[in-house]
Chain A
C-alpha cells in the first residue's frame, strides 16, 4: 500500500529498502501521493516531484549494483531556506522571487551524498522570522492537528511546513533551521521530534542567513532515533563556514542504546511561570516522574538570567538580521522595484520585497546598531548573553541535561496573535535561552492537552554532547509513546 510506505520512519524505510521489500521508486511515489493528498496544508511551496522520481530510479539502480549509500532512496523535505542548486529558493520572501541558486547548501548536499532524495521545499515564516508560519509570502500552513471542520491552527514557526509534512506522514523526515526555537516550537505544536544541534555542529554555508550567531540546521522526524540518524549525516566540519566546529561527529545512532542509569536531569526553577497552562505544568511533572522511574537523578537548578533571554534575543537577532539582509538590494539577485536613482531602487525594492515582520525586525536592528545606541543595546545584550551562557555552564556542573516545556502554549488558531508582535515573540520563551548559549536542544512529543493537541517537552544538553541529549530524549519518547494527528491516524 503506497500510503503506508509514506508513513515509515527513516530507519524503517532504510531497512525495507535494504531488504528489497520496497523500491525507492515506490517509496518516493508514496510520498508524492501523500503530499498531493495533503495539499490543503499548504506545507510545500516548491514541488520537486519530477526530480525526485528521476533520483529514485537512480537510487534503485545503485542498490542493484550494491552501491547503496546509508540513506539511499530516503525521501526528505527541505525548508525553503536551504539553497538547492537549480531549484527555486526564496525563504518564502517576495524579495527572492525568481531566485534559483547556483549552488547547494552543505547540509542538504550531505543528505544527497548519503543517498537521500529531495521531495519538496517546505513553507516557512519569511526569512525564518516568525513563530506561526503566518509571515510567509506563500500563505499560512494548516497544522495537521487542526480540528477537521474547525478553524486552522498554526503549525508554529518558522519551520512550520517541515513540521507539518512530518506530522502528516507525507515524508519520513524534513530539514529545518532554528534561530530562537524555529525547529523545536513547531515540532512541539505538531507532535514531532525537532532537534537543534550545538551551534557549529552543522554548517551554515548555503543557508539563507537570518542571525548568523544563532542559526543552526537540524532535523524534524517522527522518532528520536531518526533525528539522530539524520543529524549524523548532516553534521560535520565545513571549511566554508567560519564557525563550523572541527570535531568528529559521534556515532549517534548506536549511542542511543547505551545505559543511562544515573543520568542527572536538571529542572530550572525559573521556567516555572505562573502563566503556564495547567496542562503544560502537569506534563512537565509527568516528564520528571518518567525520568525518575527510568533511574535518573532529578535536581533543581537555577538559571537566574532566564527572564532576560527574550529581550536580549530581540536585540541580537534583529541586529544580525539587519546586517545580513542588507544584501537584498535589487541589484544582484531577486526582485527589483525600479527607481530613478540607486537609492530609490534600494528603498523601493526593500519596501516592496520584505513583509511587515521582516521590515519591523530590520528597523529594530538598524536602530540598536545606530550611532549612539550601540553600547546601550547591542553591547549590553551581548553581555547579558554571556551571563545566560554562564548560568548554563554553572548548571551543567551538577546535571547532564535540563528538562523544560518546549512552549508556553499548544498550537493556537490562525490570526490569534498576528496583531501583537510581543505576544508572538513570547512563544519562544523556553527555546531562546539555549539558542543564545549555542547549546543543543530537542523537543520530544510528550502528551496531549485537554483539547487533544500535542505538547512537547524540551531537553537541553551540554555543548557538543548530542549523545547524552539524544539518550535522554529516548527515555522521554519510550515513556510518552508517539502521537499521530487524528486525520493521519486512520
Chain B
C-alpha cells in the first residue's frame, strides 16, 4: 500500500495540519511503510463478524434530557488564547 503525494496532501488538509511541500514525500514514504505493515489484517477472515462497538458488555445508559451543567462562561473562557466580552476571538471569517 503506497500513499501518493496527493494522498498525503489531502489527509493533511482533512486533519488541518500545515505541511511544507518538502515534507510530503518523506512523510508519504513513512506512512506507506506503516500501512504495508497494517495490510496483514487482510489475511483475517472477518466474514459475518460484527465490528466491536462496545468494549465490555454493557448497555449504554440513558438519562433525563435536562440541563445538568453550564452557565459558567468565565470558566469556559479562562483558558482561551484570546477572549473578549464573553466570546472567543478568531480571525475575521467574513470579508
Contact = CB atoms under 8 A, between A and B. Distances in A.
A331 B80 contact: yes
A345 interface: yes
Contacts of B67: none
B41 A311 contact: yes
Interface in A216-251: 239, 242-243, 245-246
A326 B88 CA distance: 17
Interface size class of A (residues with CB under 8 A): 35 or more
Contacts of B55: 199-200, 213-214, 243, 437-438
Interface string B9-47: 011101111110000000100110111011111111010
B76 to A, nearest CB: 8
A383 interface: yes
Interface of B is mostly: loop
A82 interface: no
Given A314-B34, A345-B90, A379-B51, A359 B17 contact: yes
Interface stretch (A28-36, A132-140, A288-296, A347-355): A347-355
Interface stretch (A257-265, A360-368, A408-416): A360-368
A346 interface: yes
Contacts of A243: 54-55, 58
Nearest to A96: B79
Contacts of B41: 308, 311-312, 315, 377, 380-381, 384
Contacts of A214: 55
Among B14, B42, B55, B91, the most chain A Cβ lie within 10 Å of the Cβ of: B55
Given A213-B55, A308-B44, A362 B63 contact: no
B38 A377 contact: yes
Contacts of B39: 311
Contacts of B92: 341
Contacts of A389: 52
A386 B50 contact: yes
Given A98-B79, A99-B79, A336-B81, A342 B17 contact: no
Contacts, number: 159
Among B82, B91, B93, the most chain A Cβ lie within 10 Å of the Cβ of: B91
A322 B15 contact: yes
B52 A199 contact: no
A383 B81 contact: no
Contact of B88 (A332, A350, A363): A332
A311 B37 contact: yes
Contacts of B71: none
A272 B43 CA distance: 21
Given A330-B81, A334-B79, A383-B49, A311 B91 contact: no
Interface string B58-78: 101101000000000001101
Given A214-B55, A336-B82, A342-B90, 12 more contacts: A311-B37, A311-B40, A329-B16, A340-B91, A360-B30, A367-B7, A382-B52, A382-B53, A383-B46, A384-B41, A422-B33, A437-B55
Interface of A: 98-100, 102, 198-200, 213-214, 239, 242-243, 245-246, 305, 307-308, 311-312, 314-315, 322, 326, 329-336, 338-348, 350-351, 354, 359-360, 362-367, 370, 377, 379-387, 389, 421-422, 437-438, 463-464
